[in-house]
Structure 1
């Protein structure tokens, strides 16, 4: 893989931990699971990134379901001023589900080579789902978050809280 047009001979090693499985019918939708034990610190996947043009991102990508699979990506404008756009992550990077309480995979951006490396934060057991933290800017209800006070869990409680005129 050519990582930089200025250095065409520079190669970046890509890696994926063997024995990973993508399962479609989980409570969170699709998810990545360990097909064998993964020791803490192991590289799980190195994924190439497509950095999206900020204008195209707002005009087009934000209006599609692809937007929910992109990552915030720091960049700079023509004057070198920092700004933010989105990036599409290839490989398994966009398939890891979120966990606020029990993420077992961490990720690190490589801005120069436009890569993201995912590594095991702790020992991961065979059969366990691999989860990352999406941070605090979620576009969905966090299934792992503790129940909030006043949360209505049973259908009969919903009916009891309807005010009648």
Structure 2
């Protein structure tokens, strides 16, 4: 889940983009592609600042929802005066972070003024560890982190006594 939305302090019209450089993309994980680190990342380190491309609700409904790009968008509040929400395409590595229900090690914050998302280490992250965020509770895919125990609980098998 994201941290609170923020309004970043930056110079007028200038947004500092940051990236923790020892990152790499693996293409053969159980979740598909994933972002990993080749060096330890201390808790609190800014991993990436990614620009966001805000979509209008009309663009999102008419076009994006009908493509695979929709699965990579983030919910985004409408600009001041608008009611509801829309979607944003997060550029950079932001849309490549996989979801983890129990082991997310990266938190993210929307900067609504500067239209960026900032990703930070939620804890110390080890070399060659995958960087994962939480997508929230309403997933549009089967959660690869979901274990046999949670499947048994869902089906009520933990109550069966032999």
Both proteins in one fold, TM over 0.5: yes
What residue in structure 1 maps to residue 88 of structure 2?
87
What residue in structure 2 maps to residue 121 of structure 1?
122
What residue in structure 2 maps to residue 13 of structure 1?
16
Alignment of structure 1 residues 6-155 onto 2, 5 Å: 9-76=12-79, 80-146=81-147, 147-149=150-152, 150=155
What TM-score, normalized to structure 2?
A: 0.83
Deviations 1:78-123, CA, capped at 9 Å, x for gaps = xx14210000000000000000100000000000000000000000
Deviations 1:50-101, CA, capped at 9 Å, x for gaps = 0001011011100000000000000147xx1421000000000000000010
- Number of residues of Structure 1 aligned to a counterpart in Structure 2: 143
1:131 positional shift: 0.1
Structure richer in helix, relative to its length = 2
Residue 30 of structure 1: SS of its match in structure 2? Answer: strand
Q: 1:120 to 1:25 in 2, by over 3 A?
A: same
Moved over 4 A (4+): none
What TM-score, normalized to structure 1?
A: 0.82
Residue 82 of structure 1: SS of its match in structure 2? Answer: coil
Structure 1: stretches of 5+ with no match in the other structure: 1-7, 152-165
User: Which structure has more RCO (C-alpha within 8 Å, separation ≥ 6)?
Assistant: 2
Kept in 2: contact 1:76–1:83 (CA 8 A)? no
Kept in 1: contact 2:30–2:144 (CA 8 A)? no
Structure 2: how far apart are the matches of 1:37 and 1:103? Answer: 16
- CA-atom RMSD, angstroms? 1.8
Answer with 1 or 2: which has the greater Rg: 1
